[in-house]
Structure formats: structure tokens, C-alpha cells
Amino acid sequence: MTRRYAVKEIFRTLQGEGGLCGTPMVFVRFSGCNLWSGREEDRAIARCTFCDTDFIGGERLTASAIADRVAALDGPRMVCFTGGEPALQLDRALLEAARGRGYRVAIETNGTVALDGLRPLLDRVCVSPKTPDLAVTAGDELKLVYRGQPPDEIRRFEALDFRSFFLQPEAGPRYQAMLDGALAFLTRQSRWRLSLQTHKLVGLP
């Protein structure tokens, strides 16, 4: 039976965060996550309580159907698989379908699900930790949401094998306080860089 993936949405935009901020790309957002159901009534018991992404519902699509929809957007030649948690569904068949149509591929993951044999097919790996327990400890960038963590808790991630480290203030009602705290940390060191959700600032999806 042909595998079908639960996909929330597929859209073209500019990357709004991290090291590729401003880069045109297509996003494939998977439904489902292993840290939160996505329902507000479950937020208090979630392993991640601060996620601001809607990843409930969507369609069931084959790898070829996803690749066709990406190609139909007729835009940038890079596709980013995100979620939810994309590593729950992403596999070689889907990556090969995207690469076969001439796309470079990236993943934005919470890092709790091992990528196993997928790494050679990924051009870029971004891990945004939501818990201390990571199965993915190497990649291109680590993007940590700042929620008021003490400096030592932030710096412990520096032992991991990432090329770049980004600190991004938590969105929501505490945003200004989190931005101020992130800036206070960032201006006193040289390893971490600031990441902002610039797509939201300019009104992009």
C-alpha cells in the first residue's frame, strides 16, 4: 500500500527565523507532534507548553502528491519540512521525491526523534529543542526558544555539534520581557546569535 503522510499545509514564503532568515523556500508542514496534541485543553500536560503553531488536521497525501504540490508553486528550489514534528513522518521516499524534482531539502525538528538514515538526504538540519532530551545532537543550527532560562542552561547546548546557535525570544504575552532577557544574554557572549520571527513582523505565513 502506498504510504500517505498527514500534511497540514504546503506554502511558499520566506524563511523567517535562524540562519536562513529571508531565504525564499517552500514549507511542508506535517500534522502531529510527539510533545503536544495541539489542542489547547491539553497544553497544561504537554511536554512543550509554549508552541504557537497550528498543526492539527490537514490531508493525507502520497510522496509524489506532496512533491507535485511543491513543484506546482513554481518558486524557490528549497523545501523545508516542519510541523508539528516532521521526523515522525519524514522518510527516504519523500526526500527522494523532493530531491528528484530538483529541490534542496531542510528539516526543522524538535530533535527528539532520531533522523537515522535520512541525514545524507538532508541539505540542512535545524533543531529547536523543546525538552532536554535530544536524539539529534548535530546539525547546521540549533535554535533555542528563550523562556527565561539561566545562562548555564543555555550554554550547555554549546557542547553539541552544531555550526550555529540561535536564541529566539518566546512569542506571546511575555514577548517584550523575553526579548529583553535574550538581548541581555546575547550581548555578553559571542557564540549565540539572535533569531526573530521576522515573517510575523512583515505579515508573511
Q: Convert 126-163 into a string of H (helix), E (strand) and C (coil).
A: EECCCCCCCCCCEEEEEEEEECCCCHHHHHHHHHCEEE
Predicted pLDDT at 20: 97
Which one from 17, 108, 140, 170 is the annotated catalytic residue?
A: 108
Which one from 17, 30, 48, 157 is the annotated catalytic residue?
A: 48
Q: Report the pLDDT averaged over residues 44-72.
A: 94
State yes or no: is 109 an active-site residue. Answer: no
Q: Can you tell me the distance from the alpha carbon of 109 to that of 82, in angstroms, rounded to the nearest whole number?
A: 7
Per-residue pLDDT band for 52 (boundaries 50, 70, 90) equals confident
Q: What is the pLDDT of residues 130-139, one digit of tens each?
A: 998 999 999 9
Q: In the chain, how many domains are there?
A: 1
Q: Report the pLDDT averaged over residues 152-179.
A: 97
Q: Report the pLDDT averaged over residues 25-34.
A: 98
> What residue type is assigned to position 133 of the chain?
D
State yes or no: is 51 an active-site residue. Answer: yes
Query: Which of 87, 149, 145 has its CA nearest to residue 117?
Result: 87
Average of per-residue pLDDT values in the chain: 96
Which one from 53, 54, 68, 131 is the annotated catalytic residue?
A: 53
Per-residue pLDDT band for 45 (boundaries 50, 70, 90) equals confident
Q: Report the pLDDT averaged over residues 13-40.
A: 96
State yes or no: is 33 an active-site residue. Answer: yes
DSSP helix/strand/coil, 22: coil
Which structural domain, as residue segments, surrounds residue 128?
Answer: 5-202
CATH of the domain at 100: 3.20.20.70
State yes or no: is 126 an active-site residue. Answer: no
Which one from 33, 55, 85, 166 is the annotated catalytic residue?
A: 33
Which one from 50, 96, 185, 199 is the annotated catalytic residue?
A: 199
State yes or no: is 23 an active-site residue. Answer: no
Which one from 42, 49, 52, 116 is the annotated catalytic residue?
A: 52
Q: What is the pLDDT of residues 105-146, one digit of tens each?
A: 999 999 999 999 999 999 999 999 999 899 999 999 999 999
